[in-house]
């Protein structure tokens, strides 16, 4: 039996929560994290505002299940440098959450010619990533978008070697 109307859920209050708490609360309400938007504040990753379709959304408002909620977060200049994780070999299905866990946004997504169907895209793995830094910035900051390239061809995924003398990992 299919419902004629989509399941509705109530928007929780996220203001004052940490990013991790907000992620958990949205997931428990069957809502999804959209874009992370940072602005100057004393506390890094403190939720300042919750947005639906680019506009503030009040707690208690009913939204369709699986709606995407953008989160406006505080950013202290002293804590603003993000570490971009290596996404090589990670499946498409977890990339966005993986980036959000690192206070980054998923930018553009590219699929090579091995990815043809929806099933292919769900099975694809990251093989390349690009971070575009704003002008006058030499390091990625929280909220930076990471463009990711996907393939089904595992030979394109960089192989990592560990140098046993110093424990460093290198791509080849």
Question: pTM for the complete prediction?
Answer: 0.81
Q: C-alpha distances in angstroms, 11 versus 4, 57, 67?
A: 21, 8, 10
Rg of the Cα atoms in the chain: 19
Residue for token pair 């959000």: 100
User: Is residue 129's pLDDT more than 90?
Assistant: yes
User: Is residue 25's pLDDT more than 70?
Assistant: yes
How far is 20 from 23, CA to CA, in rounded Å? Answer: 5
Instruction: Give me the mean pLDDT over the 77-96 stretch.
Output: 91
Which of 8-12, 72-76, 111-115, 164-168 is least confident? 164-168
Residue for token pair 């590219």: 110
> For all residues of the chain together, what is the average pLDDT?
90
Q: Which pLDDT does position 132 carry in this prediction?
A: 83
How far is 45 from 102, CA to CA, in rounded Å? Answer: 11
Does residue 125 or residue 139 have the better pLDDT? 125
Instruction: Give me the mean pLDDT over the 131-151 stretch.
Output: 89
Q: Which pLDDT does position 144 carry in this prediction?
A: 92
For residue 50, give the nearest of 30, 68, 71 by alpha carbon: 71
How far is 148 from 109, CA to CA, in rounded Å? Answer: 5
């Amino acid at each position: 039996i299919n419902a004629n109307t989509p399941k509705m859920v109530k928007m929780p209050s996220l203001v004052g929560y940490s990013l991790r708490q907000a992620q958990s609360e949205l997931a428990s309400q069957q809502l999804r994290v959209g874009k992370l938007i940072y602005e100057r504040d004393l506390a890094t990753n403190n939720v300042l505002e919750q947005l639906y379709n680019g506009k503030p959304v009040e707690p208690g408002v009913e939204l369709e299940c699986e709606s995407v909620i953008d989160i406006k977060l505080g950013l202290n200049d002293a804590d603003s440098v993000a570490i971009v994780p290596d996404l090589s070999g990670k499946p498409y299905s977890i990339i966005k959450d993986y980036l959000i866990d690192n206070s980054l946004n998923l930018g553009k997504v590219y699929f090579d010619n091995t990815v043809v169907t929806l099933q292919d895209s769900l099975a694809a793995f990251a093989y390349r990533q690009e971070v575009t830094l704003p002008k006058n910035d030499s390091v990625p900051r929280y909220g930076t978008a990471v463009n990711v390239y996907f393939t089904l061809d595992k030979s394109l995924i960089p192989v990592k070697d560990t140098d046993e003398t110093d424990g460093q990992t290198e791509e080849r």
